[in-house]
Amino acid sequence: MPASILEARNLVKKYGDFIAVNDVSFIIEEGEVFGLLGPNGAGKSTTIAMLSGLFPPTSGSGAIGGLDVVRDLAKVKQIIGVVPQELALYPTLSGRENVRFFGELYGLRGKALSERVDEVIGYVGMSERANDRVQTYSGGMKRRINLAAGLVNHPRLLFLDEPTVGVDPQSRNHIFESVERLNRERGMSILYTTHYMEEAQRLCHRVGIIDRGRLIALDTPKRLIESLGGGIIQLGLVTADERVRAAVESLPAVRSAAFVAAEEGAEGKTILKIEASHGNEALLQVLHYCNEANIDILSLDLLEPNLETVFLNLTGKSLRD
């Protein structure tokens, strides 16, 4: 079993009575891309801030490379790179000058610094614009230079906090390719936070799903998706009739059925959420039952298995709510 590069143990962060992170524990193995997937405000950035030493946890602990993130913070900072959600760049300096500045903070000087700066700028595809001021960049270009700054010290563990928010498709793809290359070619361990399920599915070996400060699921994307079986059918009905629910749940291709709250603006309708073991078969069986029982269907949604559906199934709401 690979050695762990990061261990988070029962992390809690409180602001007065508000609990931003609530008893979060996970391990990242050396060479792993680990995703924290959840909506805005779920606690992803706060978790990264505690683990990267921006502020201490209220309780719990974290270790990186065997070093405690509070007691051994100076040593921890030498082996991590942090790319925050908020851009940490000086707009009147060029992209190259920004990356040099961060390199100097890590103690790099002279030829070694120049070579390292050229290397990471090339890695993120910004060599042609490196000498232009950051204030002339698009949002995506700023994100790419932000990533380069986080790579300049050749970290063993890279924290990437929502790195594609507000970027153009070209820069988004550059960031994806950079993450994949860093992991494949350098074996770099990466903690990647996002609220885009397609990013987690593409990039991450394992995913922790976080909501309202709690880690509610953790596994490979494949296993999380397989846990849904054949997906989810959402049936809009006039009333929440328990006899209908029980009859649907007894169908051979249905795993479970439960009434859930309808979305805002959907008054006069109740939603029967049906977990299918076999999607197409379950759909046919449900429609046949409703037809035979003269049940009016107000709406019908078939949700294919993916991480978005996993989140919906666990929380009852969309990932982007």
Is 159 within the bounds of a domain?
A: yes
> At 208, is the pLDDT very low, low, confident or very high (cuts 50, 70, 90)?
very high
What range defines the domain where residue 276 resides?
229-304
Has residue 263 got a pLDDT over 80? no
Which of the listed residues 225, 240, 258 is the one where a domain comes to its end?
A: 225
Query: Do 189 and 28 touch, CB atoms closer than 8 A?
Result: yes
The domain that contains 255 carries what CATH number? 3.30.70.260
**Alpha helices (H) in the chain, listed in sequence order:** 44-51, 73-77, 95-105, 110-123, 139-151, 169-186, 197-203, 221-226, 242-249, 279-292, 307-315
| pLDDT of amino acid 174 | 87
Over residues 113-136, the pLDDT tens digits come to 999 999 999 999 999 999 999 999
Over residues 154-207, the pLDDT tens digits come to 999 999 999 998 888 888 988 999 999 999 999 999 999 999 888 999 999 999
Over residues 286-319, the pLDDT tens digits come to 999 999 999 999 999 988 788 888 888 888 777 7
In a shared domain, residues 38 and 131 = yes
| pLDDT of amino acid 257 | 94
| pLDDT of amino acid 293 | 95
Q: Is the pTM of this model over 0.75?
A: yes
| Count of the separate structural domains present in the chain | 2
Is 208 within the bounds of a domain?
A: yes
In a shared domain, residues 116 and 25 = yes
Q: In what order do the strands lie in the sheet with 254-260?
A: 254-260, 270-276, 232-237, 299-303
In a shared domain, residues 80 and 65 = yes
Mean pLDDT of the residues in the chain? 92
The domain that contains 151 carries what CATH number? 3.40.50.300
